Amino acid sequence: MAWANAGRPDCVGYGPPTEIVVTRRNDCIMTELPTIPLTDIREGGPVRHAIEARTRMRALRDDCMSWLMPPVRVLLPAMDAVTRLWLRRSCSPYVAEIGAIAAAVGLPGLWFFNGTYAWGCTTVAREEGGAPWLARTLDWPFPGLGRHLEIMRMRGPAGDFFNVGWPGYVGALTASAPGRFAAAINQAPLRRRTVSPLLRPYDLAANALSTWQVSFCPPDHLLRHVFETCRNFAQAKDRLETVRIARPVIFTLVGCAPGERCVIERTEQGFVTRVDDTVAANDWLQPAKPWEARVAARLLFTASYEEAAARSRARREALGSWSRGFACADFAWVVPPVLNPFTRCAVQACPARGRLSVVGYEIEDGRDLPLSVTKVRDMTVGADPIGIPA
């Protein structure tokens, strides 16, 4: 394996990739931003990582919980209990890991964090110079997700992969396996049982109750398992299309050969795959009731069905029409409407070339849009379709 600029001591476990140093002017002072940790967890996995990173994990938990109202924070142990019961009923292969982390670290909220599924995203898959690329933003209201972002090097029977996530979180939302494929999750549209915007909380609760009755695998746990066990794009595509899942989701997948890219729109047991117009936000490409595009929390009680669809479509079309490439890791494409108050990270991945670039975002008091809070971590690793040698 060949790392760019290997040997510098700012990476956990081994020499780091190239990093792009970003500074930000704040009150007339130029501040160098922190580096996203790159951690080798092939030995010990997420459990050992969480134990060793418990200080960072506590800081992440505290930042996330600050967004919740005090009465909701009091209910955190109860929410943990409900999530634990549901996950233990699911087909997830990682329930024991969450239990081990919760027992070892003892932080309320770990089960809830691993069962929560409320992220919005915008993702594109396209080809540049004969190689498929994936680019995505992850939007979530919880603060701290950009500041505490990590890249974890993990391993499964099919080879190594790099998972963009957080200590204590066992699933995969965005990951890349050099020489195999890269993929990302977008939240699917909301299944509506009512019409009024004021009744969206009822629909959310009704959907959660329906999920409670389902014992299929959570989508983010399925995606991690796919990275661990699938050796190529075709295998990954088949698994993401056919394995029954606990909640609707949108997968975006790219491989290494020309034409290996797709968006998979999933319900619990069905799928629609498209290989054209491979851009996704938080609605089906062909909107259809009772499904409704996701809206930000501040619009939960006010946005109409049409406004929700228009906002999701605007993000999808803006990213799809980006005319410059992704090979330059400057993330110049992260601008409104793709950039929004809840954007917490942006990722670019090209598994054919072993490229992965990541940057974290947070919103500050008094600002309408988030700013980058980390350096751009831009890594290039040798691609091996069987596995990446140590």
In the prediction, which pLDDT does 62 show?
Answer: 86
Q: Report the C-alpha gap between 188 and 119 in whole angstroms.
A: 9
In the prediction, which pLDDT does 74 show?
Answer: 72
* pLDDT beyond 90 at 112: no
> For residue 388, is it within any domain?
no
Q: Check residue 76 and report its DSSP letter.
A: H
Q: Check residue 35 and report its DSSP letter.
A: P
> For residue 198, is it within any domain?
yes
In the prediction, which pLDDT does 292 show?
Answer: 95
pTM recorded for the entire structure: 0.88
> For residue 84, is it within any domain?
yes
Contact 32, 23 (CB under 8 A): yes
Q: How many domains does the chain have?
A: 1
DSSP letters of 77-133? HHHHHHHHHHHHHS--TTHHHHHHHHHHH--TTHHHHHH----EEEEEEEEETTEEE
pLDDT classification of 31: cutoffs 50, 70, 90: low
> For residue 142, is it within any domain?
yes
> For residue 387, is it within any domain?
no
| Domain CATH code at residue 201 | 3.60.60.10
Least confident of 33-42, 118-127, 275-284: 118-127
> For residue 12, is it within any domain?
no
> For residue 390, is it within any domain?
no
pLDDT classification of 89: cutoffs 50, 70, 90: confident
Sole residue written with tokens 């996704």: 280
> For residue 3, is it within any domain?
no
Average pLDDT over residues 278-305: 93
pLDDT classification of 68: cutoffs 50, 70, 90: confident
Give the domain extent around 63.
Answer: 19-380
SS3 of the chain: helix, strand, coil, percent, to 5: 30, 25, 45
Share of the chain above pLDDT 90, in %: 68
Amino acid sitting at position 250: I
Each residue of 144-181: pLDDT tens digit? 999 999 999 999 999 999 999 999 999 999 999 999 99
Question: If you average pLDDT over every residue of the chain, what do you get?
Answer: 87
